[in-house]
Structure 1
Amino acid sequence: MDADLARFLRDELGHAPEGDAAGPWTVRGPVWLWQGSDGAPAKGSWYFLTIDGETAQAIRAQAVNAAAWGSVYVEATIGGTTWRTSLFPSKQVGGWLLPLKAAVRKAEKLAEGQVIDAVLALT
């Protein structure tokens, strides 16, 4: 990690993230289904993987090309499926949400609650 970046992250975050701050990053977590304010999933609701902790901080530090709503472009890989998408910022989790489109869920046989690994690289 660049010494100036490490110093900045220590000053801003209280520590510098471990590992390769420039990515790619491997994240693990459960697949979850977005639910509306009534607590029920709407027809066509999206599935997500949450990216939080040090990985979220490293992505935030490296993301220089923010898109709409503060999202960042990434290339994501789950199993044998790789696609380009955006991570959406989430104040609730203090990190990012990776949307898992139907084609990816079908190809990789992903289900709600299943713990998965994803590899993310900024594009």
Structure 2
Amino acid sequence: MQLTFTAPLWQWDARQDDAWWFVTVPPDESDLLAEVPLPPRGFGSIRVQVTAGTTTWRTSVFPSKEQAGYVLPMKKAVRRAEGLSPGAPVEVTLRPVDL
């Protein structure tokens, strides 16, 4: 399964001093991820391979009740490499992986 979507970059309000940044996986794509038969992981996370622009990395997406779907952390190195700014739309391609 491979999912491609565009979503805005946002900062987690609870930790502004640490600058935790995310994009929210849209509802339809989040529903598809929730159906992936993977081994259970901490916090209900799913390991994924992600591409944004020319940068590809592995991380996990996490379920979020507040965002009504999964959230994808966007690390500083990726934000810098791709010139991403707060609120900017980010085109993301991700696929679940079993690392």
Query: Normalising to structure 1: TM-score of the pair?
Result: 0.74
Does 1:32 find its partner at 2:41?
A: no
In the TM superposition, structure 1's runs of 4+ consecutive aligned residues that sit over 6 Å from their partners are none
> Residue 119 of structure 1 is aligned with which of 63, 77, 93?
93
Structure with bigger RCO (C-alpha 8 Å, 6+ apart): 2
Does 1:45 find its partner at 2:23?
A: no
What is the aligned-residue RMSD (CA, Å)?
1.2
Does 1:59 find its partner at 2:37?
A: no
Identity %: 35
After superposing the two structures, state which structure 1 stretch, 42-51 or 80-89, moved more.
Answer: 42-51
Are residues 63 and 46 of structure 1, via their aligned partners in 2, closer, same or farther at CA, if it must alter by over 3 Å? farther
**Between structures 1 and 2, the one with greater strand share:** 2
Q: How far, CA to CA, are the matches of 1:98 and 1:35 in structure 2?
A: 15
Describe the SS at the equivalent of 1:86.
strand
Which residue matches 1:93?
Answer: 67
Describe the SS at the equivalent of 1:103.
helix
Which digits, 9 at most, give the CA deviation of each residue in 1:7-43, with x for residues without a partner?
Answer: xxxxxxxxxxxxxxxx20001110001112xxxx532
Are residues 98 and 63 of structure 1, via their aligned partners in 2, closer, same or farther at CA, if it must alter by over 3 Å? farther
Name structure 1 gaps, 5 residues minimum.
1-22
Describe the SS at the equivalent of 1:112.
coil
Q: Specify the code of the residue in structure 2 equivalent to 1:62.
A: V
Which residue matches 1:8?
Answer: none
8 Å CA contact 2:7–2:26 kept in 1: the answer is no
Name structure 2 gaps, 5 residues minimum.
none
Query: Normalising to structure 2: TM-score of the pair?
Result: 0.91
8 Å CA contact 1:52–1:93 kept in 2: the answer is no
Deviation at 1:63, TM superposition (A): 4.3
8 Å CA contact 1:66–1:73 kept in 2: the answer is no
